[in-house]
Amino acid sequence: MSTQATDFFFELEKREKLVTSYLNSKEFEGWFNPPHLKEAVYSYIHRSGKRLRPAVLLLSCGAVGGMEEDAIPAAAAVEMFHTWTLVHDDLIDNDEKRRGGYTVHTQASLWAKQELNYSDSQAKDYGRDIAVLAGDVQQGWAVSLLCDGSLKRKVKPEVTLTLIKMLESYVINTLVSGETLDIQFAKQKIESFKPEQIIDMLWRKTGVLYEYSARAGAMIGLSTTDIDDKRVKALSGFTSKCGTAFQLQDDILGIVGNEKQLGKPIGSDIREGKRTIITYYAFKNASSQQKTKLESILGKPDATKEQINEVTQLLVQLGGISETKQLAEQIIREARPELDALPDSDYKKLLLAWADFMISREF
């Protein structure tokens, strides 16, 4: 590992710790009740995570000459905002595992069976209920954290209000539209999609919150409400593109990643029939026999391990993985020059290393 990469991981971990310890402050402990709800609210942040959104928010603040210290509540806010989307998405996707443990709805339905003696169907409902409500209060927590930037640190109230409005209208609506399209796409014919549609959907699901993270960091650093400031635009344009590349890498790891490193099972994207760029490329290159095979297994909730392996091999053989990898690399290459608008600094170097990590990561 090069010295530069070591520095990057050191700097990433430093910020990860700052944000995690802020979220674990005593101050918040009494907020969440009763106990099942509290445990659900904290469960994902008590597991190890990459905290890439808060990191890019803090680095963006620093890159424009701001004090990272003032941006810590906002950094914690984007992590918490991301967390509620995970809790609700895991329920929607019927996923069982996340970050090496049970998803919130799965865990809560186990509590219902073990501690409350609920029947299977009552326990399933209880799991759903706790996951819905935990995500709801996490969204509230994220917004409160943004408020703290002004109520407890030095962010100007006008800047905080502009950031809250942006998060709770533009960002959430874009993100949820992406999630809704993702659900709807899974039941439509793969061949009916243009790649731009899939890229747009995954940018909505992922890119928009990365774009926001850098924008928020830069606006706090510059103490401005002007989203058209050229440094704000450079940073948000950069992370917006990186966010799309991140999701492409996520889709790749969802097919050919290592379960242990990822902390979640491989193959669920196949069982859910997720429409990814990988399936798009594979289909484009497939014979009609291969297409029939792919279509018969993609989106089959009870597909066997053998069937999952068969589809995985086809996606690899047909170039789905390699072409997606190339696309992700191309997007990062296009993102890098956006930062030319910023003066050279260690922050800028770390942001470029962050971009590379978005697609080189194995977890």
Residue ranges that bind a copy of itself, judged by CB under 8 A: 31-34, 36-37, 84, 88, 91-92, 94, 116, 118, 122, 125-126, 128-130, 132-133, 135-137, 139-141, 143-144, 147-148, 150-151, 157-158, 160-162, 164-165, 167-169, 172-173, 176-177, 179-181, 183-184, 187
Q: How far apart are CA 354 and CA 55, in angstroms?
A: 9
Q: Which CB atom, from 111 or from 347, has the smaller least distance to a copy of itself?
A: 111
- Identify the residue whose tokens are 């053998």: 306
Q: How far apart are CA 123 and CA 200, in angstroms?
A: 37
Structural tokens at position 317:
């053989």
Q: Which CB atom, from 181 or from 308, has the smaller least distance to a copy of itself?
A: 181
Q: Which CB atom, from 81 or from 283, has the smaller least distance to a copy of itself?
A: 81
Q: Is 67 left (phi over 0), alpha (psi -120 to 50) or beta?
A: beta
Q: How far is the CB of 71 from a copy of itself (least distance, A)?
A: 17
Q: Which CB atom, from 91 or from 342, has the smaller least distance to a copy of itself?
A: 91
Q: Which CB atom, from 149 or from 217, has the smaller least distance to a copy of itself?
A: 149
Q: How far is the CB of 33 from a copy of itself (least distance, A)?
A: 4
Q: How far is the CB of 180 from a copy of itself (least distance, A)?
A: 5
68-105 burial string, b = 16+ CB within 10 Å, else e? Answer: bebbbbbbbbbbbbbbbbbbbbbbebebebbbebbbbb
Q: Which CB atom, from 171 or from 359, has the smaller least distance to a copy of itself?
A: 171
Q: Which CB atom, from 11 or from 148, has the smaller least distance to a copy of itself?
A: 148
* C-alpha 125: how far from chain center: 26
Q: How far apart are CA 315 and CA 308, in angstroms?
A: 11
| Closest of 96, 175, 187, 97 to residue 139, by C-alpha | 175
Q: How far is the CB of 179 from a copy of itself (least distance, A)?
A: 6
Q: How far is the CB of 118 from a copy of itself (least distance, A)?
A: 7
Q: How far is the CB of 203 from a copy of itself (least distance, A)?
A: 14
Q: Count of H helices and E strands in the chain?
A: 19, 2
Helix %, strand %, coil % for the chain, to 5?
A: 75, 0, 20
Q: How far is the CB of 181 from a copy of itself (least distance, A)?
A: 6
Q: How far apart are CA 286 and CA 315, in angstroms?
A: 9
Q: Which CB atom, from 59 or from 297, has the smaller least distance to a copy of itself?
A: 297
Q: How far is the CB of 85 from a copy of itself (least distance, A)?
A: 8
Q: How far apart are CA 301 and CA 68, in angstroms?
A: 45
Q: How far is the CB of 177 from a copy of itself (least distance, A)?
A: 4
CB 220 within 8 A of CB 146: no
282-320 burial string, b = 16+ CB within 10 Å, else e? Answer: bbeebeeeebebbbebbbbeebeeebbebbbebbeebbb
Q: Is 319 left (phi over 0), alpha (psi -120 to 50) or beta?
A: left
Q: Which CB atom, from 165 or from 230, has the smaller least distance to a copy of itself?
A: 165
- Identify the residue whose tokens are 């935990």: 134
